[in-house]
Amino acid sequence: MHPAASLIAFTTLSGAGFGLLAFMGLGLGVSRGWAGAGLFALGFGLALTGLAASTAHLGRPERAIKAFREWRSSWLSREAWLALAALGTLTLFAALRLANLPALPVGILGAALALFTVAATAMIYAQLRTVPRWHHWSTPAIFLAHAVTAGTVLTGFRWPAIVLLMATALAQFVAWKTGDARAAASPTTRESATGLGPIGHVRPFEPPHTGNSYLTKEMVFVIGRKHAVKLRALALALAYLAPVGVLLIPPHIVAVAFAAALHLAGTALTRWLFFAEAEHVLARYYR
Amino acid sequence: MDGDQTQRPPGPPGREIRKTTCYMCACRCGIDVHIKDGPSGKEVAYIEGNRDHPVNKGVLCAKGAAGIMQHRSAARLRAPLRRVGPRGEGRFEEITWDEALEELATRLDGIRRTDPRKLAFFTGRDQSQSFTGFWAQQFGTPNYAAHGGFCSVNMAAAGIYTMGGAFWEFSSPDWERAELFLLFGTAEDHDSNPIKMGLGRLKARGVPVVAINPIRTGYNAVADRWLGITPGTDGLLVLSLIHCLLKAGKVDLDYLSRWTNAPCLVDENPKSDMPGLLLRGDDGKPLVIDRASRKAMPFDAQGVRPDLSGRIRRAGITHRTVFQILAERYLSDEFAPERIAPQTGLEADQIHRLAADLAHAAFDKSYEVAQTWTDFRGETHKTVTARPVSVHAMRGISAHSNGFQTARAIHLLQILLGAVECPGGMRFKAPYPKPAHAHPRPCATSAADTPLDGPHLGFPTGPEDLLVDADNRPLRLDKAFSWENPLSVHGLMHMVISNAYAGDPYPIDTLFLYMANMAWNSSMNTSGVMGMLADADEDGNYVIPYVVVADAYSSETVAYADLVLPDTTYLERYDCISLLDRPISEPDHAADAIRHPVVQPDRNVRAFQSVLVDLANRLKLPGFTEGDGTPLYADYAEYITLHERRPGVGPLAGWRLGQTHLVDGRGDPNGGQLDHYIRAGGFKQFDVPESARFMRPWNDAWWEFSQRMGFTDAPQPYLFELWSEPLRRFQAAAEGRGEHQPPEHLRAMIRITHDPLPIWYPPLEDGHADPVEYPFYALTQRPAAMYHSWGGQNPWLRQIHGMNPLFLPTHLWLSEGFATGDWARVTSAHGEITVPVARMDALNPNTVWTWNAIAKRRGAWALSPGAPEARQGFLLNHLIHELLPEKGDGLRWSNSDPVTGQAAWFDCRVKVERVPPSGVSHPAIARQTSPVGQGRKVVARRTGDVPAPPPSAREVLRGAMAALKDRIGR
Amino acid sequence: MTDLPQATGKRLGLVIDLDTCVGCHACVIACKAWNTEEGQSPLADMDAHGAHPSGAFLNRVHSYEVTPHDGTAPRIVHVPKSCLHCTDAPCVTVCPTGASWKRAEDGIVLVNEAECIGCGLCAWACPYGAREQDPAQKVMKKCTLCVDRIDNPALPEIDRIPACVRTCPTGARHFGDLGDPDSAVSRLVAERGGMALMPEQDTGPVNRYLPPRDKETELDILAPLLTPVTEGPKGFLGWLDRALEKLG
Ligand SMILES: Nc1nc2c(c(=O)[nH]1)N[C@H]1C(S)=C(S)[C@@H](COP(=O)(O)OP(=O)(O)OC[C@H]3O[C@@H](n4cnc5c(=O)[nH]c(N)nc54)[C@H](O)[C@@H]3O)O[C@H]1N2
Ligand SMILES: Nc1nc2c(c(=O)[nH]1)N[C@H]1C(S)=C(S)[C@@H](COP(=O)(O)OP(=O)(O)OC[C@H]3O[C@@H](n4cnc5c(=O)[nH]c(N)nc54)[C@H](O)[C@@H]3O)O[C@H]1N2
Ligand code: SF4
Ligand code: SF4
Ligand code: SF4
Ligand code: SF4
Ligand code: SF4
Ligand SMILES: [Mo]
């Protein structure tokens, strides 16, 4: 799949934002005073920037509002509602907290909604049978793990953050490996795609068009095997190991910020790989 | 949400449908052009097939459906142009039509008054050859031909000399009755929709299709059996099939004895003036032995039953029949499948099986069709015998230097099976059948201010018909009808530019090209030809002094013109698809058709044919003007309606004026004729009477119909010529017999190649380019969705075929370690190209190939210089030379069939080496300036939409950047 | 609407004969031409004269080289591909706006362009690559089975078939109701073993493909190999005389 910048930004930033907000909603972060305001601003900022980035992926962003319509069947629609609900609830939570009023029930609800939002985002991908690499419970699991980890890192909970970073690293590694296996084991082959399997081995001869099309640009993105391995290693280093290293030095706001930045950059890279490595079954028609 | 789409007003698809004829290829399908009102008047909205039309019956190919984009093309020329930069650069100034026509008329008038030969007028994809030829004839130049010589003259000549009809548009397989279909060397062909429809019918009926082709794509891909033959060896295969059939006695003896010259007696006396001709009676008619009386009688005597095993003894010499000589030759073991299989790249077993299948279909599946008819010997038959084997062949056979004889071999095969003009076999299309001797002889006698002495192209019957002077020097610029290629019945357009450049046989003044992209895809040695067009002598004068190009689009050749005459598109002009020209008839009916302006041009362009009429009027050409110079026709539409070739016979056969009412065929011109055609959907069919639908060459009813329609003036029944006397006359001359003698250096070649019976010899290039050094044949194929060079300007079609790789056979791919995305250097004895490659398994192992004419010169066709067509696309033509490489005899043989002059495109031998990926194919020809700018970035227009604004500054800048990059890149 | 109809009355679709398709792209262009002129908006082409032309098409013809395992000759097979109007169309259920929908009466899957936000999710969900975003309108385009022809009372009845079917020169494309076991298309599918593409994707495609036939084996037994006549008395000429005698 084409690793669109808008989608990488969307999933990374909104995931982190909702993770942070969820964290705060559970009352685990500083949610009062300037520090609280700052963290809320960061959480809402990340979530909203992510959501805004997602509309850049729309062909007709001016019609984005229509996306709320089909929540009964569409994960994208559900995600839109959940995001709205989560942001709404958490705004109330933030207002209450900043006004120093009790808000835990609202916070818990907001946190749940935020995590559901992240899960719904992941479900947009996980539901797609056409992308064997995504079509698995591990997709929402990984998205949630990243959201929670980012939330922890951003709020500066040192040891939980370190533990979560290591756990997510492991999860990501396992997800890559099982994803590879799923992609390799996909029952959809050139033979089944063309129905010509019973006759013999099928090799693409000429594509329907000599240039690119929406389909080839969007869904037949190819990334070299060697290249992918290097990028995975880099992502592991950047998203998890480097932040852990930074967090191990004495806590300081700058260190936390640096660790968070590294983690987010690394997450963005894992997201780039999430898209770039995902083979759409349609590619069987072309390659 | 709900049903929005279906609630769109279900308006009619177009406010109006105008019916005309497609021009996106030479198939000439009927089209329904949907017209709607646009901001600036009537606009073409959609084009679909005309269901009533005899050619396509409603279907339409990709090119036809994309005709709308060709009509709207950004590459359309917009006004007459006069060159301002050097030739080839493409810089022009717009001039008025009056200026253009005055300039041209003055020049032509000067030529005509001194030496009309100095005008060379050659037309390419011309569909009005009977008109353009007539114009050239009235002008008086011998130097006229259309593109047939580089296209498929082998097919036409072999068919017409053998049977009075040919594959090339002049016949059709009997799709409805065939039980076996053989397809030789065909990718698309001119009859592309009918062949596709026919294949569909065969498939629906479950009839097996056998494809003989080195490459298995398209039609060949769906064949039930594929013989991946080595190029140039079909003659061997066919003669081997003939060997098997003769050996098994699986030939139609009755058919052969009655309708062919198989029973004619051959003069076998080595001492006679010209041995090898047929023995004739006093009336000059070939003799046969009558089986009843055992006497020699004229072949057409009433009631005669010619004897295939007849012999006659005269002066101690036994003269045998053609059939006996033929059987003796082909029964020889030299044609046994086991012997020839290795050379053809096939298994002997495959050949045995095919022979068996042919016999099975022709004889075991034969049946009688009730149809009473009377033959030329006066015998009435109650039935016609079906021989349900159909064969079709095209350029894979004809574009080789042995193609004429190979095509003859195929016809011999068909005839031995009795499968021509019978139900289930090959059936002629009106105005055919028409034997070679019923066509005129070629003419080339020219004199100042005088029309030519007759039509340019014709069918020589012997050396006396050649167009050479007393010293054997060719009279025509292209050297057609000279000893080099005596039966060049379509001329040799591919030799015109190089001969004009060399001043051989004489220099010319004006080269006038219509509808031929001769500076690109229709030339051999393209870079060389571009050089010749642009080359100047020491005084700085162009070697070819004046070049006029009539084109509708900004082609590569336009850049080499001194004067450009911009044509309309096919939807903006009158045209006539005439029975005097290339027919669109089907076996059961003759047919002709028109084009008419379904919309008006929005540019300063004129229909070329009308421009020719205008020129003729300015030049006061006879045939176009009265004695006092008054024009007979104001334009082409008037010519179509009023011109008479012979009394009562004009371009269109429908709705002519009879004594009391309108008639078809012969009749007086009718001023309202075009309106009748327009009302009738743009065409007219003339049903062949049922009794005249089979066995036409020998069928009285056919000759009656043919005369009534004006195809012939008298009945001309004839025999199929298995033994070709015209060929024998040339062969005998080469043996030193007769008064007209070939130049010494050609004797051996003529003796071998002009055999009166079909023979096979290796493609000539095999003897010139070392087969070990150059192990592969390099071929091209027509892509179904692209028409030569002119489809590339089409924004839809160019997405399908925007570049072309060279396809390599698997063993080469693997042995050279090729991988996807690789490039190769391809070298012939003549030149070298660097190109992208791709792998193909379903390919003869000695063959590499690519799609034809995808490549474009940078800056042509309103495309960006960075277009993939101009960067990765390539022409194989750079590797093919009009002359064969020197082989030590001091001679440069023409790369043509020595009989017909057919360009031997497919003889080309190459070697292939892997090179680092280059991204740009070589040679990369310098960019030409576009007189029409570059087409729009976004095309998303439909009728009624206001045309998009002119390109933005950004677009212009990007275009300039691309051009700059391109320049730096070179 | 995003919900799929429980069951559709008819199941309209195409049956494409891979044994007959010569890969000519006629259907591709007829489709482009018709839908550009008559669709909800024209099918755009970007960089139409440039280095990277790329436009929206609703029907594309792929070609494959198939090498039989038994070592017989490889062949090229052309596979035209447009929307297969799936029974369980995943492209419909993923759509957040309801722009994608399936008609209850005949099962045709459509996009209402005015409602489409161009999120591309439906194209992701379609395993076949049957949906393309228009590069200019930025809305989703797909084969409509030519609803504006098959339903269109302004067209003569004979023309109420998809543009691609009407134009196909070989007659490889058939249109009809695959829900009716007696329809011509259903019978073709039954006779020729019509197949679904990517059955494992469980989309329940309506369109069917007729596989290339194996005529080679059929041909093998057609004709007995020829027996020579030249071995009889006096060889070929002896045979000739005898054969001519028989002819009379
Ligand atoms: N390597 C290789 N080369 C080949 C062949 C091959 O098989 N292999 N095939 C050969 C054969 S058979 C042929 S016929 C030639 C074909 O080659 P060409 O005869 O050159 O044919 P086109 O490329 O179609 O070019 C015809 C010209 O007609 C112009 N044209 C199009 N429409 C109109 C119109 O309405 N009016 C006017 N006035 N002009 C118009 C086009 O712009 C173009 O410049 O190529 C030959 N070249
Ligand atoms: N779509 C489309 N249609 C066209 C044209 C076009 O440009 N585009 N051009 C038109 C013109 S001008 C012409 S002349 C016709 C030509 O129509 P075709 O005769 O179909 O011409 P080519 O495409 O050159 O195909 C030649 C075929 O012969 C095969 N071949 C080559 N050498 C041999 C051989 O030695 N033996 C055998 N058995 N096969 C061989 C090649 O593999 C190829 O399949 O098409 C016309 N129709
Ligand atoms: S075959 Fe195609 S391009 Fe040729 S005349 Fe017919 S519709 Fe037009
Ligand atoms: S083919 Fe693709 S677009 Fe068509 S219905 Fe099936 S899933 Fe949807
Ligand atoms: S692109 Fe349009 S039709 Fe497709 S899912 Fe998104 S909104 Fe629906
Ligand atoms: S049915 Fe209509 S929209 Fe669908 S592929 Fe055919 S022509 Fe295109
Ligand atoms: S029009 Fe017919 S033969 Fe041509 S590609 Fe389409 S389905 Fe195949
Ligand atoms: Mo041609």
Q: Give, rounded to a whole angstrom, the gap between the first and last alpha carbons of chain B.
A: 55
Asked whether the beta carbons of C50 and B817 are under 8 A apart, the reply is no
What CA–CA distance (Å, rounded) separates A132 from A84?
30
What CA–CA distance (Å, rounded) separates B647 from B125?
29
| In the predicted structure, residue A230 carries a pLDDT above the cut 70 | yes
Give the CA angle between residues B256, B258, B263 to the nearest 5°. Answer: 65
Distance B924 CA to ligand 5 centre (A): 44
Nearest-CA residue for atom 6 of ligand 4: C86
Q: Cβ contact (<8 Å) for B795 and C49?
A: yes
DSSP, collapsed to helix, strand or coil, labels residue C125 as helix
Question: Which residue, among A23, A24, A53, A55, has the nearest Cα to A37 in the 3D structure?
Answer: A24
- Alpha carbon of B841 to those of A80, B351, B807, C216: distances in Å? 51, 22, 9, 18
Mutate to test the interface with B, among C22, C46, C92 (most CBs of B within 10 A): C22
What CA–CA distance (Å, rounded) separates B683 from B54?
9
How large a percentage of chain C has pLDDT more than 70?
A: 96
- The CA-based diameter of chain C, rounded to the nearest angstrom, is 88
Mutate to test the interface with B, among A73, A206, A287 (most CBs of B within 10 A): A206
Question: Which residue, among A209, B636, B62, B61, has the nearest Cα to C61 in the 3D structure?
Answer: A209
Question: Which residue, among B146, B218, B223, B152, has the nearest Cα to B181 in the 3D structure?
Answer: B223
Which residue shows structure tokens 């080099």? B484
DSSP, collapsed to helix, strand or coil, labels residue C61 as strand
DSSP, collapsed to helix, strand or coil, labels residue B881 as coil
Nearest-CA residue for atom 4 of ligand 5: C122
Helix (H) or strand (E) holding B110: helix B97-114
Is the four-CA dihedral B711, B713, B718, B724 of positive or negative sign? negative
What CA–CA distance (Å, rounded) separates C117 from C83?
20
What CA–CA distance (Å, rounded) separates B868 from B956?
19
Contacts of A209 in chain B (CB under 8 A): 799-800, 802
Rounded (10°) CA dihedral B615, B620, B623, B629: 130
Strand extents, DSSP E, B791-916: 806-809, 823-828, 832-840, 847-851, 909-915
- As beta bridge partners, residue B393 has B184
- As beta bridge partners, residue A118 has none
- Specify the pTM: 0.96
Strand extents, DSSP E, B569-632: 575-577, 589-595
What CA–CA distance (Å, rounded) separates B693 from B177?
14
| In the predicted structure, residue A57 carries a pLDDT above the cut 50 | yes
Q: Output the pLDDT for position B6.
A: 36
Task: List, in order, residues 6 or more apart from A170 with CB less than 8 Å away.
Answer: none
Which pLDDT band, with edges at 50, 70 and 90, does C42 fall under?
very high
Burial of B97 (0-12, 13-18, 19+ CB in 10 A): middle
With b for 16 or more beta-carbon neighbours within 10 A and e for fewer, the B866-885 pattern comes to: bbbbbbbbbbbbbbbbbbbb
Contacts of B799 in chain A (CB under 8 A): 209-211, 213
Mean pLDDT over C210-226 rounds to 74
Cβ atoms within 10 A of the Cβ of A4, count? 17
- Residues of chain B scoring pLDDT < 50: 1-14, 969-970
Q: How far is A22 from chain B (nearest CA, A)?
A: 37
Q: Output the pLDDT for position B14.
A: 47
What residues line ligand 6, using a CB cutoff of 6 Å? C 31, 34-35, 58-59, 82, 143-146, 162-164
DSSP, collapsed to helix, strand or coil, labels residue B694 as coil
The first and second tokens of residue B951, run together, are 């390109």
Residue A66 DSSP class: G
What CA–CA distance (Å, rounded) separates C167 from C165?
5
Q: Cβ contact (<8 Å) for B801 and A211?
A: no
**Which residue segments constitute the domains of chain C, with CATH numbers given?**
12-220 (3.30.70.20)
Task: Please give the distance of CA A65 from its chain centroid, rounded to a whole number.
Answer: 22
What CA–CA distance (Å, rounded) separates B341 from B348?
5
Q: Is C141 in the pocket of ligand 4 (CB under 6 A)?
A: no
Q: How many beta-carbon contacts under 8 Å exist across A and B?
A: 16
Asked whether the beta carbons of B45 and B61 are under 8 A apart, the reply is no
Nearest-CA residue for atom 7 of ligand 4: C126
What CA–CA distance (Å, rounded) separates B611 from B901?
31
Question: Which residue, among A280, A164, A177, has the nearest Cα to A228 in the 3D structure?
Answer: A177
Query: What is the pLDDT of chain C when averaged over all its residues?
Result: 94
Helix (H) or strand (E) holding B311: strand B311-314
**Which residue segments constitute the domains of chain A, with CATH numbers given?**
5-286 (1.20.1630.10)
Q: Cβ contact (<8 Å) for C136 and B226?
A: no
Distance B780 CA to ligand 3 centre (A): 20
Question: Which residue, among B58, B695, B169, has the nearest Cα to B429 in the 3D structure?
Answer: B169
* Backbone torsions φ then ψ of B530, nearest 5 degrees: -60, -40
Distance A204 CA to ligand 8 centre (A): 30
- Alpha carbon of C1 to those of B858, C96, C102, C104: distances in Å? 50, 10, 8, 11
- Alpha carbon of B761 to those of A106, B229, B338, B402, B881: distances in Å? 94, 16, 18, 6, 20
What CA–CA distance (Å, rounded) separates B18 from B570?
13
The first and second tokens of residue B753, run together, are 């190649």
Helix (H) or strand (E) holding C17: strand C12-17
Q: Is B906 in the pocket of ligand 2 (CB under 6 A)?
A: yes
Q: Cβ contact (<8 Å) for A211 and C54?
A: yes
The first and second tokens of residue B461, run together, are 């019957």
Residue B431: cis peptide before it, omega within 30 degrees of 0: yes
Q: Between these two residues, B927 and C233, which has the higher pLDDT value?
A: B927
**CA-C94 nearest atom, ligand 5:** 5
Cβ atoms within 10 A of the Cβ of B849, count? 27
What CA–CA distance (Å, rounded) separates C131 from C140?
7
Q: Is C56 in the pocket of ligand 4 (CB under 6 A)?
A: no
Distance B208 CA to ligand 3 centre (A): 26
What are the percentages of helix, strand and coil residues in chain B, rounded to 5? Answer: 30, 20, 50
With b for 16 or more beta-carbon neighbours within 10 A and e for fewer, the B737-763 pattern comes to: bbebebeeebbebbbebbbbbbbbbbb
Is the four-CA dihedral C36, C39, C42, C46 of positive or negative sign? negative
Residue A236 DSSP class: H
Give the CA angle between residues B550, B547, B786 to the nearest 5°. Answer: 45
Contacts of B864 in chain C (CB under 8 A): 49-51
Q: Does C241 touch chain B (CB under 8 A)?
A: yes
The first and second tokens of residue A281, run together, are 């079954």
Nearest to C128 among A196, A200, A282 (CB): A282
Q: Output the pLDDT for position B958.
A: 65
The first and second tokens of residue B893, run together, are 């043989």
Q: Output the pLDDT for position B10.
A: 38
What residues line ligand 7, using a CB cutoff of 6 Å? C 16, 21-27, 61, 78, 80, 168, 170, 172-173
